[in-house]
Structure 1
Amino acid sequence: MLPRLLLVPALLLLAACQNVRVERDYDANRDFAAYRSWSWQEPALQYRPDDPRVRSDLTEQRIRDAVGLQLDQRGLRQAAAAASADLRVQAWLIVDQRQDQVSTSYGGFWGGHWNGYWGGPAYTETRTLDYQVATLQIDLFDGKDGKLVWRGSAEQIMRQSPPSPAEREEAIRRTVAQILRQYPPH
């Protein structure tokens, strides 16, 4: 019975250690080698829900810095403020509330050594786990026609305790790097 009691904490631990799920999509008809410069499409970062507990100037600056660094490493340069850019960049930070139900069964009858059965009454306990999932989405739009040419997103279960500012910055840098890892598409 003790191993079954450890099931819920083990599931929570696995969820906390879960890798970031990254997805990408792009317009295969675009010549990504032609894109040399980028600028932010305002608002640079949008939030869903537009909640003051999620919205933060600090988070926005961290995302801006991380995206700028990754695009720079890929040979794209940020256009001057008044200049037109080949790509326009916009990011979304989306926080969803989700639930999972975990059922654990206790007791019941088990087969014995000589086909005898023993055990007690069986019962099942079902628990509902509430958690939040954060998605960071980065969209790249063509600077001339305004159409979406590339999109990448990363989804991750949020930790219950808020990390330190240094941990937040590192997590954002790492997540943006994972999203933009496949840009430009090959």
Structure 2
Amino acid sequence: MELISEKTIGTGKLRLVKGDITGRAVDAIVNAANSHLQHGGGVAAAIVRKGGSSIQEESDKAGFTPVGTVAVTQAGKLPCKAVIHAVGPQMGEGDEDEKLKNAVVNSLKAAAQRGFISISMPAISSGIFCFPKDRCARILVGQSERFLKENPGSSVKIIEFCIYDDATLEYFKREFYKESENSCS
């Protein structure tokens, strides 16, 4: 795991790390999930592979989860306390930016409701769902900054982006290093 950067936003911190999200020792990790919570590919498959079948079993019980919303399961054998399954949009379904914003905000709210301090999220929807990586980075960083600024009393104090591949990481670096406030409207 490699810490790329960290910055303070209000009472919290944003972190950018390169590595495998399944090894993150944070309170919660975010899974880039599909609406049926079937974890067969990408980040989702890695989470179940390393965390154990109990994650998929609990997801099966949760059932259908609409795009933009989340479901929370235990973490199995992973070093975190919980997995927040955020259902991001697939390109072409319409209103994708707003749906991704909702997935991010709902992930952060779910963490706060459980009293979690730290959360790590991947580049939701930017893999097999084909969401453009630059827009993904802009939305995730922007919404996370906004959450920290607007919720200074929240338990969530560390929001990290855990990015696995170099191409996606470059887009997150660009957003992360912007001096001006990210536009999320």
Q: Give the shorter-chain TM-score range.
A: under 0.3
Q: Larger radius of gyration, structure 1 or 2?
A: 1
Larger strand proportion of the pair:
1
TM score, norm. by length of structure 1? 0.23
Larger helix proportion of the pair:
2
